[in-house]
């Protein structure tokens, strides 16, 4: 199960890497074809009929006089930045910028057939992907270290001692890196909170790893302590999730990702509970020695939780690619 999970997430990583949006410079070869589809000559003629001095933008005095003549009721400010450009164009080209009695406030929406198709390929600015791939790397490291532990721990007592600690380190790495996508993409426009939450979970993960290296941590008496420690790491994610909801309440992407994160937490929490209580073998000793015991169920739930988090990460990427920090 552990090795299957590793290859599953390796496939997801390769698939996601191939789907990263980028600016395709080769598409610019078709730019003349795009220009042919847009009726730019008609748009240019309409604007020039209304504002013939538009090509001579440095001659601001002449342009202001023409605007006063064309639209005497408007208050033309001496500064270009103060002109009500949208109002000018609405009055000048009502058939291009309005529909019926309603005037659209967005230029691109009103003439998207002429302009949007031209500038859209040039506006692709994908955000950084490292937090998302850090999570995928943590998931693969966790599953691979667990596979190695279960495969080779029977070699010798010394090797079993080392590999069991590697298994705990992998679990801590998975939980820590799971925080990276939601924290980074939720607070990428607020560096203080982004660094605060990322720093906290990183320090907590390192502390858990160091505690896992202690010999006493591996004794059966500390089985519940181990589960509670890892559960506590996951539960610390409540703070950034609540903060995210307060900042972006009402946005569908935020509610969507929160639903995924709650489901992920349920999988992880249930897995920790099954691991700590040794269900179901405690009810029927000897019946689940080969298949169906608590450790196997624990890893099935971990894989399910990690995949749920992967789906949430895709929503984060799409959200921030489209909106950025706006």
Tell me 126's DSSP state: P
- Those residues whose C-beta lies under 8 Å from the C-beta of residue 77, and which sit 6 or more positions away, are 83
Cis omega (within 30 of 0) for bond into 131: no
Give the integer Cα–Cα distance in Å for 292 and 271: 13
Find residue 99's DSSP bridge partners: 102
Give the integer Cα–Cα distance in Å for 58 and 212: 70
Is residue 295 annotated as involved in ligand binding?
yes
Give the integer Cα–Cα distance in Å for 229 and 232: 5
Give the integer Cα–Cα distance in Å for 120 and 63: 31
Give the integer Cα–Cα distance in Å for 109 and 10: 41
Chain centroid to Cα 10, Å, comes to: 19
Give the integer Cα–Cα distance in Å for 51 and 114: 19
Chain centroid to Cα 229, Å, comes to: 27
Distance between the two ends of the chain, CA-based, in angstroms? 43
Tell me 127's DSSP state: P
Enumerate the known binding-site residues. 150, 295, 299
Enumerate the known binding-site residues for Zn(2+). 150, 295, 299
């Amino acid at each position: 199960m552990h090795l299957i999970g590793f290859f599953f997430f390796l496939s997801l990583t390769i698939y996601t890497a191939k789907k990263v949006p980028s600016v395709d410079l080769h598409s610019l070869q078709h730019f003349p074809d795009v220009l042919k589809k847009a009726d730019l000559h008609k748009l240019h003629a309409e604007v020039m009929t209304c504002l013939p001095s538009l090509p001579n933008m440095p001659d601001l005095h002449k342009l202001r006089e023409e605007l006063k003549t064309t639209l005497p009721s408007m208050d033309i400010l001496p500064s270009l930045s103060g002109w009500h450009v949208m109002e000018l164009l609405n009055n000048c080209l009502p058939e291009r910028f309005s529909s019926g009695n309603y005037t659209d406030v967005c230029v691109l929406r009103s003439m998207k057939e002429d302009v949007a198709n031209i500038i859209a390929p040039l506006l692709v600015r994908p955000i950084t992907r490292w937090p998302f791939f850090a999570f995928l790397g943590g998931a693969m490291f966790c599953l691979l270290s667990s596979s190695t532990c279960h495969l080779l721990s029977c070699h010798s007592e010394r090797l079993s001692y080392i590999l069991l600690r590697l298994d705990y380190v992998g679990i801590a790495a998975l939980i820590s890196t799971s925080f990276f996508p939601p924290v980074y993409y939720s607070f990428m426009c607020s560096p203080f909170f982004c660094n605060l939450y990322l720093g906290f979970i990183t320090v907590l993960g390192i502390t858990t790893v160091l505690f896992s290296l202690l010999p006493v941590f591996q004794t059966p008496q500390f089985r519940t302590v181990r589960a509670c420690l890892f559960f506590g790491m996951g539960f610390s994610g409540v703070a950034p999730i609540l903060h995210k909801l307060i900042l972006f309440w009402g946005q569908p992407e935020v509610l969507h990702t929160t639903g995924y994160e709650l489901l992920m937490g349920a999988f992880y929490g249930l897995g920790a509970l099954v691991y700590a209580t040794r269900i179901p073998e405690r009810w029927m000793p000897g019946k689940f020695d080969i298949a169906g015991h608590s450790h196997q169920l624990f890893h099935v739930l971990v894989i399910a939780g990690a995949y749920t988090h992967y789906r949430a990460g895709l929503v984060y990427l799409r959200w921030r690619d489209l909106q950025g920090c706006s």
